[in-house]
Amino acid sequence: MDMVDPFSDEYFMKQALIEAQKAFDADEVPIGAVIVCENKIISRAHNLTERLNDVTAHAEMQAITAAADYLGGKYLGQCTLYVTLEPCVMCAGATMLAHLKGITYGAGDSKKGYARLSESILHKKTKVVPGVLKDECSNLIRAFFQDKRML
């Protein structure tokens, strides 16, 4: 039996993928996020841009807001964001302002990812781990847009 370490990057990314699937099922771009503090998930979110008619309602933004609410403060210096797609510039800026300790993402985003513009958008102490469960994350996004093109 394949045991998954409950505190591994893969475990937390699978939780973000569960959120991404919720977005997929709601006809939202399937991006999911969780924020982890001391090995505990303190927020879960997925893209809500269509439902809320709000271009800023990205999974990361929703997760940061929920985590700050949970902790009772705007700084998330002990927290790591797990997100299925490399954050855009807006979301990367929000992680910098929140002082996130880490960002772990699945699929890279060569069109809208923050690294395309500048990696200096992140807080200087933020540790980035790219490519965790990259194939699973990429496949979900690819399937979503393939379905859209067939309509």
H or E, element range at 109: none
* Catalytic residue selected from 28, 60, 86, 119: 60
Can you spell out the DSSP letters for 68-108? HHHHTSS--TTEEEEEEE--BHHHHHHHHHTT-SEEEEEE-
Alpha-carbon torsion (107, 69, 56, 145), positive or negative: positive
Side chain identity, residue 6: P
Check if 19 is active-site. Answer: no
Token match 């939202």: residue?
28
The residues assigned a catalytic role are 60
